[in-house]
A and B are shown apart, each in its own frame.
Chain A
Amino acid sequence: MSTSNYKEITLNGLWHNNPALVQLLGLCPLLGVSNSVVNALGLGIATIFVMTGSNIAVSLIRKKTNDAIRLPAFVMIIASLTTCVELLMQAYTYELYQILGIFIPLIVTNCAILGRAEAYAAKNPVLPSALDGFMMGCGFALVLFLLGALREIIGKGTLFSGLDLLVGPMAATWEIVVFADYQKFLFAILPPGAFVIMGFIIALKNLIDAHLKTRAAKADVNTAAQAASDTLPNSGV
């Protein structure tokens, strides 16, 4: 495995093939819990853990499972890991566990995880699979974080409120009041707001991609012109 391949896996997970922005997988938890940063981070970290773990496990058993039973086997692995996460969250972040509620067990049904197990881990060695799972999870978590931050700012006018539920009592003072004396904009906190803001984030990604593409095309044309003028130093003009 060359390093360029690892770089490609990383870029794929975070940007080019981002599970939330490009594959549009796992939208149910993404839109369901992203109404504040702390919820988004909680679910994001849990998803990274499950995704990395499931990719490693699936990759390890990839030569033993036959085609007929591979999907039940994958789901079993994912479900066991999700149960681990659930128990861990019950032990260490009980209040956050209660807020996230059904969305923690629902990680099992996150199609992004099963998708990566099927599309990548079942065909590749352990190390790249682990990196793929981790990076895909990070891509998912980053979008969750961005969506959560935007919805919290627009909806409640604060940022990082209640983060002590996730990282301990020292974070109780991390809350930033972006707009003081803010009239709550409930739409952003309710599910329809998640759809609209998610749409804008996807549009922004496409805009950046289009911009990068035109810049690359321009650079190509420039180098081609440069090359052409280099090969014809004396065209007589």
Chain B
Amino acid sequence: MSLLNVSSPHSHGPGSTARLMKLVILATVPGAITLCLFFGWGTLINLIWAGLVAITCEALVLKLRNRPVAFYLGDYSALLSAVLLALAIPPLAPWWITLIGVSFAIIIGKQLYGGMGYNPFNPAMLGYVLLLISFPAQMTAWAAPTGIDGVSGVQGFAQAFNSIFPIFGNVLEIDAYTLATPLDVMRENKGLTIDELWASNPIFWGVGGRGWIWVNLAFLAGGLFLLYRRVFTWHTPVAMLGSLTLMSIIFYGGDGSTGNGSTAFHLLSGATMLGAFFIATDPVTSAVSNRGRLIYGAGIGMIIYIIRCWGGYPDGVAFAVLLMNMAAPTIDYYTQPRTYGHKKPKKGLAKQD
């Protein structure tokens, strides 16, 4: 009888990279469908287009770097970055916006750093920030959600396709189809009380924005599914939503015109849920230990609130995530757990007399 000398690890879980990535992509489906319901077919077209661009760029760079193309394409990580970016950009953004954003995310944000697992920044958010600072006009032109009287949402597939790929020369009058997002209206508001704002602007509905509430709830559902499947731990999203809640309670200005919006408004507006469950939880760029993830997530939530209320942009998820990506190695350094039975490390120099 021969005894094979097998080294650890001895138990293999079913969670390969490709499986996890596919699960995350699957979990974005409810959010994507909700986006399509309220903002037209643009999101779906952008998703497919972004996916094609991402796979092409990834394959191209892998070829240039002499890496096995099929092996790395098979882990779906490029596709996931493309999906997250496509969900973040406005549904009617022209095709070159997606092209520039996705190729920057994959080539410069990910592959130039060494590929999957080596990127210090979330590639999708790098692509998004590039687009946001380069093309502010296109990136803030969100389609009007359907269901608002007097404003025609984007109706059919052909209309959405034409505005993204104007190959038939039939470019949409973009103003007719776009509206400021609820966060933008709230930020620009100077003189109206919250009640007046709600009454005067049809983009508001319930505690948040028309359509936006459902989009965020759908992403929340997808995120809870991932949490249930243990794709990530609860620490990052809970800390992020918790600190956003805390900030919005502390700085809640009541009903007055200088009020910064209620807690529910902040939790269910913009990219809060997408950011909390799909972007901040990226295993490569977030902090590693559980304690570290709490700090990392809390930092993101705090920065989001600061940018939304006192910053120059209506939403700040991308900037917040990138800033905390930068801080993640330092957080890891200070939150490294000790092995069982060992004493606390001595940080700094001992006091000398």
Residues of B contacting A: mostly: helix
Contact across chains for B108 and A186 when beta carbons are under 8 A apart: no
Interface string of A179-221 (1 = CB under 8 A from B): 0000111110010100010000000000000000000000000
Number of interface residues of A (CB under 8 A): 8
- Considering the complex, which residues of chain B in the window 99-137 have a beta carbon less than 8 Å from any beta carbon of chain A? 100, 108, 130, 133-136
| C-alpha gap A184/B135 in the complex (Å) | 8
- For B108, the chain A residues whose CB sits under 8 A away are 196
- For B130, the chain A residues whose CB sits under 8 A away are 187
| C-alpha gap A192/B96 in the complex (Å) | 20
| C-alpha gap A192/B121 in the complex (Å) | 14
CB distance from A182 to the nearest CB of B (A): 12
Central interface residue in B96, B134, B136, by most chain A CB within 10 Å: B134
CB distance from A14 to the nearest CB of B (A): 27
A185: nearest chain-B partner, CB-CB: B134
Partner of B135, one of A186, A192, A196: A186
- For B133, the chain A residues whose CB sits under 8 A away are 186-187, 190, 192
- For B135, the chain A residues whose CB sits under 8 A away are 183, 185-186
| C-alpha gap A148/B136 in the complex (Å) | 23
- For A185, the chain B residues whose CB sits under 8 A away are 100, 134-135
CB distance from B95 to the nearest CB of A (A): 12
CB distance from B59 to the nearest CB of A (A): 21
- Considering the complex, which residues of chain A in the window 138-192 have a beta carbon less than 8 Å from any beta carbon of chain B? 183-187, 190, 192
B136: nearest chain-A partner, CB-CB: A186
CB distance from A144 to the nearest CB of B (A): 23
CB distance from A30 to the nearest CB of B (A): 20
CB distance from A77 to the nearest CB of B (A): 40
| C-alpha gap A196/B134 in the complex (Å) | 14
| C-alpha gap A179/B254 in the complex (Å) | 51
- For A184, the chain B residues whose CB sits under 8 A away are 134
B108: nearest chain-A partner, CB-CB: A196
Seen from chain A, the residues whose Cβ lies within 8 Å of a Cβ on chain B are 183-187, 190, 192, 196
A sample of 12 inter-chain contacts (CB < 8 A) reads A183-B96, A184-B134, A185-B100, A185-B135, A186-B133, A186-B134, A186-B135, A187-B130, A187-B133, A187-B134, A190-B133, A192-B133
Seen from chain B, the residues whose Cβ lies within 8 Å of a Cβ on chain A are 96, 100, 108, 130, 133-136
- A183-B135, A184-B134 are known contacts; what are 6 more A-B pairs with Cβ within 8 Å? A185-B100, A186-B134, A186-B135, A186-B136, A187-B134, A190-B133
The 9 closest A-B pairs by CB, nearest first: A187-B134, A186-B134, A185-B134, A187-B130, A186-B133, A187-B133, A190-B133, A196-B108, A183-B135
